[in-house]
A and B are shown apart, each in its own frame.
Chain A
Amino acid sequence: MIITMTTKHYLSVSVCLVLVSTSLLAEQVELGEINVEAHSIHLQEDQVSYSTSYGTDTLANHTSGQTLGDYLSDQLGVDSASYGPAVGRPTVRGMEGYRVGIAQGGITLNDLSAMSQDHAVGLNARMAERIEMVKGPASLLYGSYSGGVIRTLGEEHEAKLPKKGLSLDTSVSTNSDTGFGTTSIKGAYALDEFSANLNYYRNEADNFQSDGETVPHTDTFSEQFHGVLGWKISPVHTLKLYADTMDKEYGVPNRTIERTDIVMEQQRYGVVLHSESIGNIKNVITEYQYSDYTHFEREGGRYDGLFDQQQQSLSTQFDYKLAESTDANFRLEWVGNELKVCHEHGRCREFEDAVRTSAEDGLSLLNYYDDRGIAYSHGHPMPDTEEQKLLMALNVKHYLGETDELNLATNIVARKLSADPKNMQETWLMHSSVDSDYYEDETDVAVSLSVGWWHSWSEAFETQASLAYMQRLPSSQELFWNGFHHATESYILGNRDLDKETSVNLDVDAIYKHSDAFSSRLSLYYYDFENYIYQSPLVDDSGVAVLDPFHLSPVWQIQGVGAKIYGLGIEEKYKKTLGLHALTFTAQLNFMKGELDSGGYIPRMSPYNATFCLEHDHMDLHSEITYKWVDKSRNVADNETSTDGYDMLNFSTKYHYALTNGSLDFWLKANNLTDDVAKNHISFLKETAPLPGRSVTVGFDYKF
């Protein structure tokens, strides 16, 4: 990576700016109030809920990274499936990839992060206004995801216009290890009937260090603009238009000698109509979005891979009161998306249609199938695909007094999947004698159901349980991919005959308030999959890993098997106030296990871990020290690399400087103070991409 600004320069700019700002504001200093709740993400409301919402400012205070996974990894049962610092898809209660939904508002995020571990999530978490984790019956409104849905909400998802006048929320920081830093600016101007928002985000980091050594290809760059225009059409109708553009470029710290990197682009345009009520239906949100996602995969500067997905979505959702004690949420969505994949050495700057001659289709592939029993291909790994999906979801809530709430939710997805192999080299087409209907259209339906029961046993004790039968349609990649994947250095063998992923999921959450200052939270989950779709190393009859004949890379087959994932999360929280000092101690424990019905474990399950956090607030100074213990990987899958345990000690402090009409915060975060070598077991790159070593980040936030 060619770096054009030095860390020193960046720091000097930031420090100068802070000094200028401070001097300008000095005469407006006021003593602030003790505000514990505003700082802490461990201090969730003392209740259990299917939906938990966080302001991104709050999450940003705690995160040690910039990915969505980093932002949420403090939450009970949440981890980040990192693939270097640029990539971190959240895993929730052991669910990864397609089993965790990521939505912008209600629309499934148009990216390919669920497809492969090296693909970054197509958004920068900092750009959202709020991030919401939805699970149980409530999550079925947005799709059928065993791990629930993570919703990022922007200004366009707010039914109201921003507060009148000009407002600005900005944050600038720099990191001692990677240099450069992050800039986030959220500006808004609103009148009575109109508003305009413009958000800007930029993050740039050079390679980080671990164990005193620079980890190559861990650099990352991301830039995003997000603009929203609002128009209050009437007292009950508000229209929001939005446009978003994101560029991201990051190294992939894999084993290849030459540099592997990914260049990602995304544009989104949409319109949201918020209607407070239309007749008897309330909170109507209707949204149309068009988005275009592209990323290039390069090795040694050659364009070896290209992915493009265009998506259109039209959705509407609303609330309806069925009876005095019964509410319903309804959502309907149509999604159309077209996915194109190019994977050929040096030829993927653009998509091309393959040459067609009189030669027999799939001849080379057939030869491999005949010789080795596997239809190996060295062409483009999958055909162009087009999906048309219709999603209908209903969540009915029935209240029994103030102590019980019953939920019944369903999600029905009908999908037509079409494959067009015009991009595939004819010699690598699926031969008709191997699979005669490989490229034929497919129509399928997935139905998911969930029932939930919330009960307040007393003022001190609440529980919430949900039982769900989930069906997930396999993705086009899981069905069609047959070929090498450069970034992961593996040969992925999809399965055209995959059946729907089905599972019965039980989630139980409870909170017990011992006193106003002390509470305990418990999460139990047990997911029983009849057909758990995952990638596992292919082995021969002797148990030896199968390598592909072209690159001698491990072959990972996508298969559906019986499996169980279960776990337990415990959070203990204790608050103590001593005069002007407020202390909060939080302890989290996470245990989970993933087992295959046939014996053995599911790969990349999070090791047992515990986090202890002590927060201290005094006047306008907030500090916290967090220690996370991660056990060595104990339940590893066959042929999976195990990882050692590690300790992560972080410290952060923040000074809140109240202004007449705003605030200025100065903060410092010191991560991995012991400079421990931390290998993330749930990452595919656990060996080559450890978590960052010791670093210090300083920054300031200014708001008015």
Chain B
Amino acid sequence: MKKIWIAGAVITAAMMTGCGGSSNNDEKTAIDLPDGKTLIFFDNASSKQYLYNTDTDSPEDMNVAGENYDMTGKNGKLITWNQVIATGVDQKIVMVDESFDITDGNLTYEDLHYLGHFHEENNVAVFAAHSGDEFDPAVASTKKLGAIKAFNMHMKEQNEIKEEITEALPSGETLCNYFVLGHEEHENHEEEGEDHNETEHKEEEAAPHIALTTSGKVYIFEEHEEGLEQSQSAFTLDGVTACKENEISIIQNDDHGVLIFAAQSQKLYLADSHGEDFHIHSTWDADRFLPTGFTPTMFTGIGEGEDDHHHDY
């Protein structure tokens, strides 16, 4: 009988020590998109438009009647404009009409659906937008007209970069889309008239130019005295065979990389460099975090770069 008692006590002890279980499941969300981002996805075919906050992991329908950013029944193109202002970089999202030629660099209020930005309300970032009509010279304030002017200057600069990249591409390749990492910071320094030491100058020269060609390849260039030079092996995006300008979007993720969205694959790619070469660090299927049936054609987004994003692998 005593044996049974002892056995019972032992089993009880074992079960007690067994409490707690495996407790190392300090897991992140299944999506695990970069923190601190607000992404806007737009489907030019259906005009559906969703805003996705990567901190709350929740999509929000932006086509709300009465809002300036309601795109119901409209077509457009999303452009991220990191406007350099005296205090730094002011991130803006510009929705222009589909017919607007971005190489023209002469945007009028009639080409503009909305110009959006975030402002804080009770410590929460709230998206707000000005409608294109607000930029009508007949009614617009000087500040708003200045914004249009600054945007057009930005577009002109982008076109110059585009031409430079086009020239640097290997023969047979046609530029589809591109992004220059750190370009705004460079502009900001210049506007502030800061002196550049040699190191800073080299960093600015080395600002990676990430170029997507129509064949779906990603080329990385760096600026040298002789012009842009390819800095690493080209790579492709999983599931992408071709690039169309309005169906692949690139935005900055942080100082080290960009987010790329491809309509063809319906995937969001994080291409970054935390060693030497840029590569696709992470890939997310859009249907894992966007509403079912929503197939965006383009995206943009703003938010702080993840300074604490670890690049140890």
A contact residues vs B (CB 8 Å cutoff): 1-5, 10, 13-14, 17, 20-21, 24-25, 28, 166, 168, 170, 172, 180-181, 183, 185, 187, 200, 202, 204, 219, 221, 223, 247, 249, 251, 255-258, 261, 263, 298-302, 304, 344-347, 349, 354-355, 357-359, 363-364, 367-368, 370-372, 378-379, 425-427, 484, 486, 489, 547-553, 661-662, 702, 704
User: Which residues of chain B (267-299) have a CB below 8 Å from chain A?
Assistant: 274-277, 279-283
- Check A549–B10 contact: CB distance below 8 A: no
Whole-angstrom CA separation of A263 from B23 in the bound complex: 11
29 A-B interface contacts by CB (under 8 A): A1-B23, A14-B13, A20-B9, A24-B5, A168-B7, A170-B11, A183-B17, A185-B10, A219-B24, A223-B22, A249-B22, A255-B312, A256-B313, A257-B310, A257-B312, A261-B24, A299-B313, A301-B27, A302-B28, A359-B240, A359-B241, A364-B233, A364-B235, A367-B234, A425-B238, A550-B275, A550-B279, A553-B313, A662-B3
CB of B19 within 8 Å of the partner chain: yes
Decide: A347 near B282, CB < 8 A? Known: A258-B310, A547-B275. Answer: yes
Decide: A357 near B239, CB < 8 A? Known: A13-B13, A21-B6. Answer: yes
Additional A-B contacts beyond A346-B32, A368-B233, A661-B3 (5; CB < 8 A): A2-B24, A170-B7, A298-B27, A344-B283, A426-B238
Nearest neighbor of B30 in chain A, beta-carbon distance: A349
Which of A3, A21, A183, A185 is in CB contact (< 8 Å) with B20? A3
Chain A, interface SS category? mixed
B239 CB, nearest partner CB in chain A, Å: 4
Q: Which of B12, B14, B24 has the most CB of A within 10 A?
A: B24
Whole-angstrom CA separation of A223 from B17 in the bound complex: 11
- Check B17–A5 contact: CB distance below 8 A: yes
- Check B236–A363 contact: CB distance below 8 A: yes
Whole-angstrom CA separation of A172 from B7 in the bound complex: 12
A548: chain B residues within 8 A (beta carbon): 275
- Check A345–B17 contact: CB distance below 8 A: no
Decide: A1 near B24, CB < 8 A? Known: A25-B2, A185-B10. Answer: yes
Whole-angstrom CA separation of A21 from B2 in the bound complex: 9
- Check B24–A221 contact: CB distance below 8 A: yes
Chain B, interface SS category? loop
Decide: A357 near B241, CB < 8 A? Known: A1-B24, A371-B233, A551-B313. Answer: yes
B10: chain A residues within 8 A (beta carbon): 17, 21, 168, 170, 172, 185, 702
B288 CB, nearest partner CB in chain A, Å: 10
Whole-angstrom CA separation of A379 from B235 in the bound complex: 12
A379: chain B residues within 8 A (beta carbon): 238
Nearest neighbor of B17 in chain A, beta-carbon distance: A183
B54 CB, nearest partner CB in chain A, Å: 13
A302 CB, nearest partner CB in chain B, Å: 6
CB of B16 within 8 Å of the partner chain: yes
Whole-angstrom CA separation of A371 from B18 in the bound complex: 55
A378: chain B residues within 8 A (beta carbon): 235, 279-280
- Check B274–A263 contact: CB distance below 8 A: no
A211 CB, nearest partner CB in chain B, Å: 24
B106 CB, nearest partner CB in chain A, Å: 37
CB of B26 within 8 Å of the partner chain: yes
- Check A552–B276 contact: CB distance below 8 A: yes
Decide: A4 near B238, CB < 8 A? Known: A14-B13, A172-B14. Answer: no
- Check A354–B312 contact: CB distance below 8 A: no
B123 CB, nearest partner CB in chain A, Å: 26
Which of B5, B239, B277 is in CB contact (< 8 Å) with A355? B239
- Check A347–B283 contact: CB distance below 8 A: yes
Nearest neighbor of B33 in chain A, beta-carbon distance: A346
User: Which residues of chain B (203-254) have a CB below 8 Å from chain A?
Assistant: 216-217, 232-241
Whole-angstrom CA separation of A427 from B281 in the bound complex: 14
- Check B310–A185 contact: CB distance below 8 A: no
CB of B152 within 8 Å of the partner chain: no
Whole-angstrom CA separation of A349 from B25 in the bound complex: 13
B309 CB, nearest partner CB in chain A, Å: 10
A2: chain B residues within 8 A (beta carbon): 23-24, 26
Nearest neighbor of B281 in chain A, beta-carbon distance: A345
Whole-angstrom CA separation of A613 from B216 in the bound complex: 68
Which of A28, A183, A346, A363 is in CB contact (< 8 Å) with B282? A346
Nearest neighbor of B237 in chain A, beta-carbon distance: A427
Nearest neighbor of A2 in chain B, beta-carbon distance: B23
A368: chain B residues within 8 A (beta carbon): 233
B312 CB, nearest partner CB in chain A, Å: 5
B37 CB, nearest partner CB in chain A, Å: 15
Whole-angstrom CA separation of A425 from B269 in the bound complex: 13
CB of B265 within 8 Å of the partner chain: yes
Which of A14, A25, A551 is in CB contact (< 8 Å) with B6? A25
Decide: A4 near B13, CB < 8 A? Known: A24-B5, A354-B238. Answer: no
A251: chain B residues within 8 A (beta carbon): 24
Whole-angstrom CA separation of A170 from B237 in the bound complex: 56
A170 CB, nearest partner CB in chain B, Å: 5
- Check B282–A364 contact: CB distance below 8 A: no
